[in-house]
Structures are given as C-alpha cells and as structure tokens.
Chain A
Amino acid sequence: MAEEVILLNFWPSMFGMRTMIALKEKKVKYEHREEDLINNKSALLLEMNPIYKKIPVLIHNGKPVCESVIQVQYIDEIWSDKNPLLPKDPYQRAQALFWADFIDKKLYVCGRKTWATKGEELEEAKKEFIDILKTLQSELGDKPYFGGNSFGFLDIVLIGFYSWFPAYQKFGNFSIEPESSILMDWGKRCMERESVATSLPDPERIGGFILQLKKLYGIE
C-alpha cells in the first residue's frame, strides 16, 4: 500500500518545523497542509487532535500522531532505514530526550516572555533566556551537532527556535551575543542543511507574526 503522509502545520511554529525537518531528513513524501490557527481551525485538525486541537499533527495512513517530539521519534522508528535521528544507545537516547524536555519546558515559555511581557518580568525573562542558551551551549560543547558528528534529534528539536531568536532580541530589546556565539555558529551550520533551510521561515516574517499576535492578545 502506498504511504499517505499528511502534516497539518502552521508556518511560524517551531514545533511544526521539527516534524517537517524529520520527514525531509528521511526523504518521506508528504502533503503539507497549512492551518489557519488564528481564524479557522480545519475540521480535519479538530478530528485528528481532539484533545489539544493544536498543530503539528502527523497523519500516517489516516492515523494521527500528535506532539512534535513524539512525531520525530515515530518518524525515526517507521523510516528507520536512512539517516537515524536518535542515538542507538539507551543512555544517549535518555540524554537526548532529557534535553528535548528541557527545551520544551524552559525555552518556549521564556522566549514568549521576551515579546509578551514588560518591566520586571521582562528583565527576569531576558536573564533566564541567556542562562538557558548558555546551558544548551555547554551541552553542545565543541561538537558540531548536539548528537556529535551527525545532525540528529536534539538539533531538530532546537533549530526551529533559531528562526525566532532575532525576533526575541528585537522585541525584548536585548542581545544574546556574545554569550551565545557558539550556539549561533551551530545554528548557521544547521541552516546549511536543505531540510532545515527549507523548513525555517525568514526571521523577518516571524517579527511580523509577533506583531499580529500582540495585536490579537492586546499586548503592547
């Protein structure tokens, strides 16, 4: 039976970017469907992710897989013949999953505060943001990628945020360099990969999107 793979996505989502990159790394043919999350979620989205009604949703032969990290693991397990994404060793795998969880718990929430908050809360968020980047940079060390010599799972989990970094700095009015220069080099290295370059939006567009969100939520 021919594989049918559909990805319900929304272009600015750093989570959707993960799934797109994973599919591209595995050279999986898939249909990309853009969701209008602001105005009108599709019936298919609501049917395939009734619990959260969020993107990305990966639909494989009619069956949905939700949550981006789970989707990347699933893609790696189903299309296991090329470009392994997760480490083979259980301990290395546990470390990769730990850092993915760290990124989801800390980076997303903190990043959001750089454009959605003001005053004391914003100042705290900026400090925390730089600390988080330093921690990730320390984990990267002097390896070309988080997994070592090959681009893999943890690089995929983090790289979507790279397209949001310029906007975070602009709206938060701060700079993440020079403390994060190693991480920025890593970002540029990842962008040389076709799967990444064709999945991340232009950071300028992210800036425009944030302005839209601020208006929508009444954030000054």
Chain B
Amino acid sequence: MVDEVILLDYWPSMFGVRTRIALEEKNIKFDYIEQDLCNKSALLLEMNPVHKKIPVLIHNGKPVCESLIQVEYIDETWPRENPILPSDPYQRAQARFWGNFIDKMLPGLGKLMWGVKGEEQEAGKEFVEMLKMLESELGDRTYFGGETFGYVDIALIGFYGWFDAFEKYGNFSIEAECPKIIAWAKRCVKRDSVAKSLPDSEKVTELVPELKKKKRVG
C-alpha cells in the first residue's frame, strides 16, 4: 500500500518545522495543508480533538500529535534513511531530555513576545540563560548529536526562524550572547531539509504585530 502522509501545519510554527524537517530528512512525500488557526478546519478538529493544535501528522488516515512525538514516530516508521535518534539507549535518553528542555523554553518565549509590557526583560534573560545551557551542551561539536544532524538539532532549529523577532522584541542580541548557537544554526541551514522547512525570518518578524493584535483580542 502506498503511504499517504499529510501534515496539518502553520507556516511560522517552530514546532511544525520539526516535523517538516524529519519528513524531508527521510525523503517522504507528504501533503502539506496550511491551517488557518483563527478558523480551524474540520479535519484539524477531528484529528486533534484534545488540543486542537498544529502540527498534526496524518499517516494513512491515523493522526499523530505533538511535534517531538511525531519526529520519533517518523524515525521509527522509516528507520533506514538518515536516523534521527541515537541507537544507544543512554544517548537516546539524553537527546529526549534536551528535546524536553527546549520545549520548556516556550512559556518564557510566550511572555517575551505576547506578555504584559515590562515582562520582556525578565523573559529575555531567561531565554538567553536557557540558550546558554544548550550552547554548553553543544560544546565544540558540529551538531548536538556529534557529527550527525539529529533529534536535538531538529528540536531547536525551528526557533531560529524566530530569533530575529525575539531579538527585536526582547531587545538583545543572540549572536552576542550565544555565538556558538548562531554558528550551529548556520550549519544546519545548509542542509536541504532545514532550508526547505524553515520559515523566512523577515516574514515571521513582519507577522508579529498582526499576531499581537489577535492575541489581545482573543
């Protein structure tokens, strides 16, 4: 049976980017369906009734929700090409730990971008602190997994599309604070899977005022 793979997504989403990259890394043909989050489609509501969020991966009619779970699923379902998670259980546990850590950055970023005025400074500091921990974990390696691009790289790189926006609204420079992270990101962007999947930084930054308005009203 030919695989039918659909991705319900929203172009700037740093989480959707993860799933896009994983599918591209495995050379999987998929149908990308852009979602209007202000007017959620019947398909989205049917496939993710619990959270009603993107990304949703639909494989032969069956939904998988939550981006890191989707990345693992993709890795297990199409194991031969470009393995994403390490094969060693301990290394795998470390990779999952950092993926989970990266997800914990989100509430702070929410405060930075959409929060009460005055909260950005504190939120910006917290974000930089967490990035520095990631930078320390990266060390002098090419990628988080070592020589091979993998799970933790995929978990973090989606945020890179938003770095310009974070810097603008948080009033700090990520390059100045975490130069190794920027160097790592530039290496990642050279990969086809990443270049195809990352949203344009300028477009993301342009979108922010509109999103701010929606969040105030919503």
Contact = CB atoms under 8 A, between A and B. Distances in A.
B93 A70 contact: yes
22 contacts: A65-B90, A65-B93, A67-B96, A70-B96, A70-B97, A70-B100, A73-B92, A74-B90, A74-B92, A77-B89, A77-B92, A90-B73, A91-B59, A93-B72, A93-B76, A94-B69, A97-B69, A98-B64, A98-B66, A98-B69, A102-B50, A135-B50
A51 interface: yes
Given A90-B76, A102-B50, A135-B50, A51 B100 contact: no
A82 to B, nearest CB: 16
A63 B203 CA distance: 44
A163 B93 CA distance: 28
A218 B210 CA distance: 41
Interface residues of A, number: 21
B89 A101 contact: no
Contacts of B62: 91
A67 B92 CA distance: 13
B77 interface: yes
Contacts of B208: none
Interface size bracket, B side: 20 to 34
Given A97-B66, A97-B72, A101-B66, 14 more contacts: A66-B97, A67-B96, A67-B97, A67-B100, A70-B97, A74-B89, A78-B89, A90-B77, A91-B73, A91-B77, A93-B73, A93-B76, A101-B69, A135-B50
Specify the main secondary structure of chain B where it touches its partner: helix
Contacts of A77: 89, 92
B43 interface: no
Interface of B: 50, 59, 62, 64-66, 69-70, 72-73, 76-77, 89-90, 92-93, 96-97, 100-101, 133
A57 B44 CA distance: 37
A74 to B, nearest CB: 4
B72 A51 contact: no
A94 B96 contact: no
A5 to B, nearest CB: 13
B73 A73 contact: no
A135 B50 CA distance: 9
Interface string A82-123: 000000001101100110011000000000000000000000
B64 A94 contact: yes
Contacts of B89: 74, 77-78
A91 B64 contact: yes
A73 B97 CA distance: 12
A183 B54 CA distance: 29
Contacts of B69: 94, 97-98, 101
A191 to B, nearest CB: 27
Contacts of A70: 93, 96-97, 100
A74 B133 contact: no
A97 B50 CA distance: 14
Contact of A94 (B50, B72, B97): B72
B188 to A, nearest CB: 23
A102 B48 CA distance: 12
Nearest to A105: B51
A73 B66 contact: no
